Structure formats: C-alpha cells, structure tokens
Amino acid sequence: MQRWFFSTDSHLAWHVKNLFIHVLFEQGWIGLVAFILLLAAPGLTLLRRAGDDAMVLTLLISLTSFLVVGLVDSLIDEPRLDFLFFWLLTITLISSGKELPPGQKSGAGDQS
C-alpha cells in the first residue's frame, strides 16, 4: 500500500451546471443555435397541439421539465439521460404528423 494514491474522483470542478452553457462550451455558438432550433421545432408543435391529446400534453410536460432541470444542471453529459432526451425529441417529431379524420383512408390509389 506504499505506492498507492487514493483519491475521490470529484468531477464537480469541471462540471458545467447549465444545459445551455454546456452545449455552448462543447459545440460553440453554431451548436447552441442548432440545439435551440432542435428544441423549438418540437416545442412549438407540442404547444399548438397541447389540448388535442393526453399523449401530446405528456410529451410537452416531459420536455419542459427536462429543460427546467437543465437550467441548474447539465443533463446531456450522462449517456442514459442523453438517450432519454433525444428519444423524447424523436418521439415528439414522429408524433407531430397530422392524423387523418376518422373514416378517411390514406393512399393515392384509394377511391371511395
């Protein structure tokens, strides 16, 4: 045990405690603008459709809560939370397509 150095690996010295400052530090101004645009597209879509469906409201609340926590902590430096965040954005973008009214069939060859 004479040559072993024991330490606590405290990462708080280099840990950025804000999501947007973290993105700015990691990716620069262009990356921050791209990140904000990536958040704005699904966010505005969810705001427009918030009264339509419970799933849309759930996605909006999930995205908003992630960003609120991101104001005081950087959440995308942990791979599991990073995956969860981008999965949430993907689900939001996929579900933002317009649904057909009941009784209307899709497809170009359908004749009613």
Q: With a cut of 70, say whether residue 110 has pLDDT above it.
A: no
Q: How confident is residue 8, by pLDDT bands cut at 50, 70 and 90?
A: low
Determine the straight-line distance between the first and last CA of the chain, rounded to whole angstroms: 83
Q: Which two tokens stand for residue 20?
A: 């947007």
Domain ranges of the chain: 19-94
pTM (2 d.p.) = 0.70
Q: What percentage of residues in the chain have a pLDDT greater than 90?
A: 15
The number of angstroms, rounded, from the C-alpha of 103 to the middle of its chain's C-alpha atoms is 34
Mean pLDDT on 81-93: 87
Instruction: With a cut of 70, say whether residue 11 has pLDDT above it.
Output: no
111: pLDDT strictly greater than 60: no
- Identify the band that residue 101 occupies on the pLDDT scale cut at 50, 70 and 90: low
For 22, counting Cβ atoms within 10 Å of its Cβ (0-12 exposed, 13-18 middle, 19+ buried), the class is: buried
37 pLDDT more than 90: yes
Q: Considering only 19-23, 68-72, 89-93, 94-98, which range has the smallest mean pLDDT? A: 94-98
Contacts of 98 (CB under 8 A, 6+ apart): none
pLDDT in tens, 49-65: 878 778 888 888 888 99
